[in-house]
Every structure is written in C-alpha cells, then in structure tokens.
Amino acid sequence: MYSFKINSHVSFPLEGLDLRPFLAKESISKVTNYDLLSVICHHGTAGSGHYIAYCQNMINGQWYEFDDQYVTEVHETVVQNAEAYVLFYRKSSEEAVRERQKVVSLATLKEPGLLQFYISREWLNKFNTFTEPGPISNHTFLCSHGGIPPNKYHYIDDLVVILPQNVWEYLYNRFGGGPAVNHLYVCSVCQVEIEALAKRRKMEIDMFIKLNKAFQAEECPSVIFCISMQWFREWEAFVKGKDNGESGGDPGLGGGEAVRTPQRCEPGSDIFQDAGFT
C-alpha cells in the first residue's frame, strides 16, 4: 500500500477553539470551547522518523518539549509553530474553575456539622478534571441494595472521599445524582448471596467429581451424552470462581440439547465427553 506524508503547515489555536458549529443537533453539551493540552510531532518520512511531544503543565501553564529522555522548557510560540501530527484539546470553562474554587473555599470554612458524607472518589476526580462531570454517581462503591459489596469493603478507603455537610450539599444541589451516603456498612443481602453462591459452587463441583469418577470406572458405557464444550468451560470457570464475580457467572442451562449416542464421541474442542476434573 502506497502512503506519503503531507508536509503542509496546519495552523491551530492554543486557546479558544470553538467547536459549536460542529456539534451534533442532539448534543446536550453546553461547553464548546477547547484549549490545547498537548501536541505530537513527527520528523521524517511516512516510512520512518522520530516523534516528539509538547505538553503543558496545567498548574503553571508552562510548555515542555519531550524528546525521548530529554525534557526542555519551551515558549508557547514554539508549540504554535510546530508541524503537528496529533493535537490534544480539553474543554475549557471558567464556570467549572469557579465551581472548584467554591468547593475548596467551602471545605476550608470548617463549619460545625453533625454529618459527614461519602462521595465516589471516581466522580470527584471527574469534578476536578472535567468541565461537565455529570450527576454524582456513588454506585462505584455501592451495591444495588445501598450497602458496600463485601468484596469491596476491605479497600473502601480507595473508593470514597469524606466531605463535610456543606460541601456535599453544594455539590448535590449543583449536580444532582447520589445517593447520599453518611454511613458505610457491608451489605448483608449481598453477603448472604455470596455465601449461597459459594455453597452452590461446592455442591456442583463435588457432584461432578463424584459422577465423573463413576463414569471413568465404566469400561464400555452403552450411552454417552455430549454437551457444548463452550458451556462446560463457562461452568468450570463458574464453579472454580474464575468468572470475575460481578454477576455470579452463572452459566445457566447447557447450551443446546444434549446429544445422545450409543457410540463414543470423537474427541474435539467443541464437544465434552469426559474430563479428569479434580
């Protein structure tokens, strides 16, 4: 395939790139201005060359050139005149900056309050970096019953941030969502479900081992039933607890009807006949 590199200079703004004319009609985004965050440049031909990058420090606004192990401060005019290969922009909003400053000021007031609230660390990170973080979502650390899933409780401090009441109320009134959480507890419903699932897994694997040993002891079984090997792998992952654990990994009923045959099945990757499962 023939390819070539376009060397024509492309001008681009460092700030205030307005993409409103290009928004889809159904877009609900209110922020359409973007500021340049980083640039990748390529020196060479379409077949070979060298990459460098320019990135802005968001704290002090200084631009830096990254060339392999060398990092150098550069003036913004160097960036603006670069032969860009890839441009990275981020949404820009003065309102979002003011909201973050407001939250910081509220947190430093230390108003006396009887309550403290827990908020998703993931959502709070969106608030600190996104111009439109969306509604608060605490479901990253809550189960469907409103408690903490037992498998998340031992690292819950990594998932939540404690907020004073005035900060929580400001964020909740501004963004909505939730739910409000002022008490962390392990969900007893989920715990019962996990214990029941573990009991079922043990029962099924014990039964399989028992029946499989009996099958292996038969010298010439007159009837053999074959099932989908894909389903068997899913079931094996389920009983061994290797199914990610999010939805229980229940494989359900066997895929398709069992095949009854008076002959021995040909071994293959799609059909299961017997296995050394211990």
What would the mean pLDDT of 56-74 be, rounded to a whole number? 94
Nearest to 221 by CA among 160, 262, 182, 254: 262
DSSP 81-137: TS-EEEEEEEE--HHHHHHHHHHHHHHHH----S-EEEEEHHHHHHHHH-S---SEE
Beta partners for residue 73, in sequence order: 64
Provide the greatest CA pair distance for the chain. Answer: 84
Banded model confidence at residue 257, pLDDT cuts 50, 70, 90: low
Question: What would the pLDDT profile of 191-233 be if each residue is shown by its tens digit?
Answer: 999 999 999 999 999 999 998 888 888 887 777 778 888 888 9
Q: Helix, strand, or coil here: 28?
A: coil
Question: What would the pLDDT profile of 135-174 be if each residue is shown by its tens digit?
Answer: 999 999 999 999 999 999 999 999 999 999 999 999 999 9
- Reported as type and span, the H/E element at residue 73 is strand 70-74
Banded model confidence at residue 262, pLDDT cuts 50, 70, 90: very low
What pLDDT was estimated at residue 221? 76
Write down the CATH number for the domain with range 95-178.
Answer: 3.30.2230.10
What pLDDT was estimated at residue 275? 45
- Asked whether the beta carbons of 204 and 159 are under 8 A apart, the reply is no
Structure pTM? 0.69
Mean pLDDT, the chain, rounded, equals 86
Is the model's pLDDT at 270 over the cut of 70? no
Find out whether the peptide bond into 164 is cis, omega within 30 degrees of 0: no
**CA 156, CA 22: separation in Å to the nearest integer?**
42
Residue ranges of the chain assigned to CATH 3.30.2230.10: 95-178
What pLDDT was estimated at residue 70? 94
